[in-house]
Amino acid sequence: MMMNLRKAAFVVVDVQNDFCPGGALAVSGGDEVVPVVNALARMFDVCIATQDWHPAGHVSFASAHPGARPFDAARIDDRVVTLWPDHCIQGNAGADFHPGLELAPYRLILRKGFRLGLDSYSALFENDGSTPTGLDGYLRGLGTSSVVFAGLALDYCVYYSALDAARLGYTVFVVRDATRAVGSPDGSVERALADLASRGVAIIDSVEVLR
């Protein structure tokens, strides 16, 4: 699958302190994506960064559900969801972008998950599958036909973002070495990659963009 950089947007998902080593919901090696992401961002005219931006007491936090523990499953609005440690709380240091992330290339910072009772994995829709974040309209207004995803975490927010972009008709790429995964439950990475590939999403390496 060929990529036209002039028609592509680079979307970096949630490269925030709480998802990096030492953070409240650390992804193993999460900080390792930063130099790759920085190099990739210099290749695109359109760069967008998403930012998890939860209020205290957010519905996705295990602490908001008496007796629950992080990584427990819970049923919320007829959906089975994973409960998380408190993370990326609005205005807290954990919600800040990793200090090594170069923000100059980014035209838009898109904050998601800011509704108390609704989470948002995807950069395009809240987890109800119908409430838009506004990113689709923004991209279409710029004439974007392809979206290239990187960031954290591969098996959750990157996966759902790429899934929604493909469903909306974009040509979609995921830069595998510019992502890291939660890896829970077992097999989540393999399932995510297989599902994306089955929907026409191209899983690529950064050298395919940088060369």
**Three-state SS at 182:** coil
Does the structure show a pLDDT above 80 at 6?
no
**Percent of the chain at pLDDT exceeding 70:** 99
Would residue 138 count as lying in a domain? yes
Would residue 47 count as lying in a domain? yes
| Global confidence as pTM | 0.95
Given the residues 14, 31, 86, 136, select the one marked as catalytic.
14
Average pLDDT of the segment spanning 135-150: 97
Would residue 154 count as lying in a domain? yes
Measured CA to CA in angstroms, residue 142 lies from 41, 136, 208 at distances of: 17, 10, 24
Given the residues 88, 155, 157, 164, select the one marked as catalytic.
157
Q: Which domain holds residue 113?
A: 5-55+89-210
Given the residues 18, 31, 86, 112, select the one marked as catalytic.
112
Would residue 37 count as lying in a domain? yes
Place of tokens 């709480």: 18
pLDDT in tens, 169-203: 999 999 999 999 998 788 899 999 999 999 999 99
Would residue 118 count as lying in a domain? yes
pLDDT in tens, 23-45: 999 999 999 999 999 999 999 99
- CB burial class (10 A; 0-12, 13-18, 19+) of residue 142? middle
14 is catalytic: yes
Please check whether residue 158 is in contact with residue 150, taking contact to mean a CB–CB distance below 8 angstroms: yes
Would residue 139 count as lying in a domain? yes
CATH of the domain at 140: 3.40.50.850
Give the total number of structural domains in the chain.
1
pLDDT band for position 2 (cuts 50, 70, 90): low
pLDDT in tens, 58-102: 999 999 999 999 999 998 878 888 899 999 999 999 999 999 999
Please check whether residue 35 is in contact with residue 29, taking contact to mean a CB–CB distance below 8 angstroms: no
- The mean predicted confidence, pLDDT, of the chain is 94
Strands (DSSP E) found in the chain: 8-13, 46-52, 73-76, 79-82, 108-112, 146-152, 171-180, 202-204
Would residue 201 count as lying in a domain? yes
7 is catalytic: no
* Among candidate residues 3, 43, 147, 27, the one with its CA nearest the CA of residue 88: 27
72 is catalytic: no
